[in-house]
Each structure stands twice: as C-alpha cells, then as structure tokens.
Structure 1
Amino acid sequence: MNVRISFDPAERQLDVIHGFLASSYWSPGIPRETVARALEHSIAASAFDGDAQIGLARVVTDRATMAYLADVFVLEAWRGRGVARAMIEALHAHPELQGLRRWLLFTRDMHTVYERLGWERAPHPERLMLRDNPGVYA
C-alpha cells in the first residue's frame, strides 16, 4: 500500500466521504449537501490508495489563532496502517495552519492515537462550553 495525502479539493470523492460520515457515530444522517459545504469551508487532507479515497481529516480554522480537527476517518480495510497519522501530520505541517495558539477536537475512543501525535486531554474541561444539536440531521 502506498498512501498518498492530498489537499486538492478536486480529488475528493464526495460519495465516499458522505457515505462514511452519514453512518458515523458523530454525524449520523448528515445530508450530502452539508458535507459538501463543510468541505468547501475547511482545509481537508484526503488519503488515497491509488485512485481510491480511503480516509479524510478536515480542519475548520480562522488560519490565525485556532483550528478544530473534525471528521477524521479511515475506511475499515485500511485501518491500523498509519493512514490517520499521515493525514494528521500533513495537517499539522500545512502552511496555513502554522503558528496557531490552539487546536481542538472531540473523540469518543481515539485518545491514544491523538496523544501519540502530541495532543493532550483538555487540562481544564470545566472551562469547555458546548451548544449541541444532535438531532439536526434527523
């Protein structure tokens, strides 16, 4: 397997991305149009094995002070091979994401993956506020 990371929006395979996200635990039922709009306004690293898209990681950012890492996934057949690591490292190195004061993410079960990439659990979770609307795609 020779994984290639691309930031080129023209290479993204929206059907693959939407198919995964619409069945994920964090965005079940998300409309295809919403995925397309989210990608349009983000910096996204896409992982490819040949011409097949096998993963995605996107960042929502102001490109000056903060970034929110979202929608990180690797299709099941390619998991455990360092694909997520490659996408996140590519985002960490992206020229428009340098000098940021803070990066954020939410994860249910991948804490150790992110910790190996220099992330840490929030030191003051009591400061975190959230306005959540989990049924928005229903």
Structure 2
Amino acid sequence: MTLPQANPFYTNMIEISTDKSRLDVPFIQNFLKDIYWAAGRTIEEVQTTIDHSHCFGIYLDGRQIGFARVITDYVVFAYMMDVFIAEEQRGNGYSSILIKAMLEDPKLQQLKIWRLATTDAHFLYEKFGFKLLAHPEKMMEKVIK
C-alpha cells in the first residue's frame, strides 16, 4: 500500500508493507533495545519475533521509519505489539497510517478481538476504537523475568 504523505505540499511517499524480507532488522532492534517494553531485546530475539508474527514496515521514500507486528490466529484474536515510528519522524501522522493499515489488512478481517498494551499512547489507539478492558479482572498473566 503506497500513500501520499498527509501534507500535500510534500513529495514524499509513505508505503506500508507486510513483506518481511524488506524489514530492516538492525533498525528495528536498535529502536526496541532502548524502549521500556523491549529493553535489552537482542537482534536474534527480534528476528524470532518477526518470524512468528504478521509484520508491518512503514517506509518513507523507500527507507523504513517504523514497524509493528501482530500475533494472531487470523480468525478470533490479535495482539498488536512493538508499534513504533522513529523519533525523527514523529508528529507527521505516520503512526495513524500504520495502525489503520494494520486494522484494514485483508488477512486480518475475520478477527473478533484486538488487544494491545500501552503506557502512554491511549489517545492514539482510542481514535481506532480501542478502549480499556471492560472486565480486567478476567485477564491474567504470567511474567517470567
């Protein structure tokens, strides 16, 4: 999917791709290794997560500027993870373009439940219909450190 940038005065083109062979894994790992939810993730671990997820790269004039992945069974449930835009490209609406592309991906149209976790981007996901859990007391987790 290729889209003109939101501002019509720019000539830059934004492209969203699910082609894993285009992903710049060192770029992804370099961002994730310092962010709170993935601190210390190695390049090998990043590659494993890519191998086992439905991935989205966002490209500006052919250069990757962001990433996201979905863990899913393609019918019932999807969990959105590792969504990011490079710091120098933030504020241009690219995260909204990326999330919209994920939610509209033809392979993900049967899904009944989408989930994600965020500490600081509630406002972004709310634009796409995400809400706090209706019954968080039903959710459980096991964290291994």
2-structure distance, mates of 1:84, 1:59: 15
Aligned residues: CA RMSD: 1.0
- Map of 1:98 onto structure 2: 109
1-structure distance, mates of 2:92, 2:127: 15
- Map of 1:14 onto structure 2: 25
- Quote the offset at 1:52 in angstroms: 1.6
In the TM superposition, structure 1's runs of 4+ consecutive aligned residues that sit over 6 Å from their partners are none
- Quote the offset at 1:2 in angstroms: 2.3
| Residues 56 and 69 in structure 2, CA contact (< 8 A), matched pair in contact too | yes
2-structure distance, mates of 1:9, 1:66: 21
Count of paired positions: 134
> What do residues 65-108 of structure 1 show as CA deviations (whole Å, max 9, x unaligned)?
10000000001111111111111111111111112111110000
Q: TM-score, normalised by structure 2?
A: 0.88
Corresponding letter in the other structure for 1:119: F
- Map of 1:80 onto structure 2: 91
- Quote the offset at 1:35 in angstroms: 0.6
- Quote the offset at 1:28 in angstroms: 0.5
- Establish whether residue 34 from structure 1 lines up as the match of residue 48 from structure 2: no
More contact order relative to length (CA 8 Å, sep ≥ 6) = 1
| Residues 57 and 64 in structure 2, CA contact (< 8 A), matched pair in contact too | yes
Structure 2 portions without partners, runs of 5+:
1-11
Candidates 57, 75, 78, aligned match of 1:67? 78
2-structure distance, mates of 1:118, 1:45: 20
Structure 1 portions without partners, runs of 5+:
none
